[in-house]
Amino acid sequence: MREEFRSDLREVGHLLVSMAETSRSQMRQATYALLTADKESAEAVIANDEAINGLFKEVEERVHRLLAQQQPVARDLRAVITALHISTDIERMGDLAEHVAKTALRRHPASAVPAELATVFADMAEAADRIAGKITLVLAERDAKRAAELEHDDDAMDELERHLFEIILGPDWSYGVESAIDGALLGRFYERFADHAVNAGRHVIFLVTGEN
Amino acid sequence: MREEFRSDLREVGHLLVSMAETSRSQMRQATYALLTADKESAEAVIANDEAINGLFKEVEERVHRLLAQQQPVARDLRAVITALHISTDIERMGDLAEHVAKTALRRHPASAVPAELATVFADMAEAADRIAGKITLVLAERDAKRAAELEHDDDAMDELERHLFEIILGPDWSYGVESAIDGALLGRFYERFADHAVNAGRHVIFLVTGEN
């Protein structure tokens, strides 16, 4: 029974890693679509969101089965419930990548990102990619120390968002209201993507150390 | 044991209703702060978000205890896990009310909402209030039929958000980029608030009918 529990839980862990990897590659491709106004990439991201949702459902079903069949307690129970929380965060990261792709698609064949914002969005995308890469590792290795670094990485993302707003609200902004709103919402999508990774990291820290 | 399970689950249900009621009153007060540029109300909403977070933690702890001590299966297990999902959605509704309050506070003593947007935000707030009231009832009475109505209520919210964007992006917009961004983000907060209520409603439908 104990062995079976371990094995089932490991399987759930693998699913979470797959979800994190997929959300990372989705955000990468969404950024590519955004920065190059590439329609096919944007459509691919939107179509592929179902893959993350499918993994999410699989986590849920396995967790249900695991709870019902093995009735874990204490630390084991915490691990199972934590997996459920983490999957909710990563599913949402996938949604945010889809939002970026949808914004790119809505402006196609024009670019949703004026030249003046290309650098800051490339930087935000890089920060998002680093963060998504880290949460993938954290999940694969249950690495609480690395999970704690995510807070710092998220500070960098917040700093980039502030910089984005400085540009949009600065005296040289000449792209009008619609581009300003696109920019602000896009900034929020990247920033929320990072927040959810941090949140997932906090769950891992709680799981490993028992402390919030 | 069975009786104890029922009683514990009922207690969790009451907590969810309290959370929903609190998120509703939080959004009400946040809207008041927004439309009247009232600093004290905005600060009260921000301070009171801890109350929802506290209820959220209580739900989590009770669910853990319930799973560990009573080891429910099948339908009972589904009810417990569903409660956890619903609490996540409602906690987020509270965060969104807090975001509205923070926006109001950031612009104080000026208003974050120019006169031209006052009506559409009053309408969005009314829609949010109706939706929050409905999800409270749905949770109190496990009313899947009423939960299904939430999708329709949410359509009304989406329509209001479209109208908001029409105004902001229209030829008569004279309030500049910063107000446009505030307006767009505020619109998103109300719209997401409604989305989470719909999501919570879907969980209730699944719980009651066993169907997605």
- Confidence at B92, pLDDT banded by 50, 70, 90: very high
Q: Per-residue confidence at B74, pLDDT binned at 50, 70, 90? A: confident
What tokens were used for B11?
Answer: 């207690």
Whats the size of chain A, residue-wise? 212
Let me know: does A26 contact A97? Beta carbons within 8 Å: yes
- Token look-up 């919402």 returns A185
CATH number for B10:
1.20.58.220
- Is the model's pLDDT at B169 over the cut of 90? yes
pLDDT of residue A164: 98
Residue A1's pLDDT is: 66
Mean pLDDT value of segment A136-152:
96
Percent residues over pLDDT 90 in chain B: 89
Q: How high is the mean pLDDT of chain B?
A: 95
Mean pLDDT of B120-131: 98
B140-165 pLDDT, tens digit per residue, is: 999 999 999 999 999 999 999 999 99
The verdict on A175 touching B (C-beta cutoff 8 Å) is no
- pLDDT at position B127 over 90: yes
CA dihedral B70, B75, B77, B81 (to 10 degrees): -140
Q: Which domain holds residue B90?
A: 2-209
* Mean pLDDT of chain A, nearest integer: 95
Under an 8 A CB cutoff, do A77 and B68 touch? Answer: yes
* pLDDT value at residue A212: 63
B68 interfacial to chain A (CB closer than 8 Å): yes
DSSP structure class, residue B142: T
Q: Which two tokens stand for residue B201?
A: 């409603």
- Whether A77 and B64 lie within 8 Å, measured CB to CB: yes
pLDDT reported for residue B212: 63
SS3 content of chain A, % helix, strand, coil (to 5): 90, 0, 10
Rounded distance between C-alpha atoms, residue B28 and residue B49, angstroms: 13
Instruction: Please indicate if any CB of chain A lies within 8 Å of the CB of B156.
Output: no
Most A CBs within 10 Å, among B87, B168, B179, B181, to test the A interface: B181
How far B188 CA sits from the closest chain A CA (Å)?
Answer: 9
Q: How many domains does chain B have?
A: 1
Q: Where on the phi/psi map is residue A111: left (φ > 0), alpha (ψ -120 to 50), or beta? A: beta
The mean pLDDT of B173-200, rounded to a whole number, is 96
Confidence of residue A156 (pLDDT cuts 50, 70, 90): very high
Asked whether the predicted pLDDT for residue A46 surpasses 70, the reply is yes
Least confident of A73-77, A78-82, A150-154: A73-77
Res. B132: pLDDT tops 90: yes
Three-class DSSP category at A103: helix
Q: Do A177 and B180 touch (CB under 8 A)?
A: yes
Let me know: does A204 contact A144? Beta carbons within 8 Å: yes
B59 pLDDT exceeds 90? yes
A16: pLDDT confidence band, cut at 50, 70 and 90? very high
CA distance B7 to chain A (A): 20
pLDDT for the residue B2: 80
Type of residue found at A44:
A
